[in-house]
Chains A and B, each alone.
Chain A
Amino acid sequence: MGQLSDVLTAISHPTRRAIIGQLANGPARFLDVAKPFDTALNAVTKHLKLLERAGLIEREKRGREVFISFRGEPLREVAGWVHEYERFWNQRLDQFEQYFKDQKKKGKKK
């Protein structure tokens, strides 16, 4: 249960979920991970530590550089705790929110 709690804590924050989304595209260096976020580097470091504790990322040294990569396996345990209505409403609400964001962007372009 320890790891499950760590994983649930790790994915409870939007910035950490965004980091996971970013790393799902492939390994990245720390500064590349931090780049999209309007937050202090030490805050990103803290987010990465929580993700690492949950086993969702790992660091690999390549020459002089350290690459951070995503590990999906710990999410398997979490998946068993996700009710179909959680998935359903989250997917629907994400789409709904995105629609209004897109509309706002279109409005600004006009």
Chain B
Amino acid sequence: MSTSTATIEFEFERTIPAPPGEVFDGWLNPKIPGNPWNLAEKLLLNAQVDGFFYWLIKGNSHYGRFTEIERPGRIQHTWMSRSTLGEETMVTLTFKRQGDDTLMTLVHSGIPDTEAGRGHEKGWNYFLNIFPEQFRNGSRKEK
């Protein structure tokens, strides 16, 4: 199989008002809003090194294997879905204490850079309908 598809990487940062251990645990708890496991239609989650996850949302299946679990500082797992075109991409999270808060960084790397992934159609609705609400608090940090 050809592996010539160019890949891209996204990096996100958030400052979470809680200590790293709490944020780390929150990220792996399906009951906490915002982590990938929340709101799943079906979820199998074994958050330990070499543990697998299966996550179904809106009919789309996602699979992965945890490669690093180092509480409270780091989580890394692979990520495969229809959008990765069967390629194994990598999600790495780090949690660093910043005073009373946690600086949380998420890097999603190895994503095939395709036109389909860029989502032209959905993007416009996203900005018009959700963007102002999402940014009302103005608290996002980006690089």
Q: Which residues of A contact B (CB under 8 A)?
A: 12, 14-15, 17-18, 20-22, 24-25, 70, 72, 75-76, 78-87, 89-101, 103-104
B1 interface residue (CB < 8 Å to A): no
B137 interface residue (CB < 8 Å to A): yes
C-alpha gap A61/B25 in the complex (Å): 52
Given known pairs A18-B138, A20-B132, A104-B18, the reply for A89 and B10 (CB within 8 Å) is yes
* B6–chain A nearest beta-carbon distance, Å: 13
The A interface is mostly helix, strand or loop, or mixed, namely: helix
Could you tell me if A96 and B26 are in contact, using CB atoms closer than 8 angstroms?
Answer: yes
Q: Which residues of B contact A (CB under 8 A)?
A: 8, 10, 12, 14-18, 22-23, 26-27, 32-36, 38, 83, 104, 106, 108, 111, 117-120, 122-124, 126-128, 130-142
Q: Name the A residues within 8 Å of B117 (CB-CB).
A: 83-85
* A7–chain B nearest beta-carbon distance, Å: 10
Q: Name the B residues within 8 Å of A70 (CB-CB).
A: 132
Q: Name the A residues within 8 Å of B139 (CB-CB).
A: 14, 97
Could you tell me if A99 and B14 are in contact, using CB atoms closer than 8 angstroms?
Answer: no
Partner of B14, one of A18, A80, A85, A97: A97
C-alpha gap A104/B101 in the complex (Å): 11
Given known pairs A79-B120, A87-B122, the reply for A20 and B32 (CB within 8 Å) is no
Given known pairs A95-B33, A98-B34, the reply for A79 and B135 (CB within 8 Å) is no
Q: Name the B residues within 8 Å of A12 (CB-CB).
A: 142
* B35–chain A nearest beta-carbon distance, Å: 6
Could you tell me if A20 and B131 are in contact, using CB atoms closer than 8 angstroms?
Answer: yes
C-alpha gap A75/B135 in the complex (Å): 14
Could you tell me if A85 and B83 are in contact, using CB atoms closer than 8 angstroms?
Answer: yes
Could you tell me if B142 and A82 are in contact, using CB atoms closer than 8 angstroms?
Answer: no
A-B contact pairs, 13 of them (CB 8 A): A18-B137, A20-B132, A72-B127, A79-B120, A81-B123, A82-B126, A83-B8, A84-B119, A85-B10, A92-B36, A94-B34, A94-B140, A100-B26
Q: Name the A residues within 8 Å of B123 (CB-CB).
A: 78-82, 87
Given known pairs A85-B83, A96-B14, the reply for A17 and B23 (CB within 8 Å) is no
Given known pairs A84-B117, A84-B122, the reply for A90 and B134 (CB within 8 Å) is yes
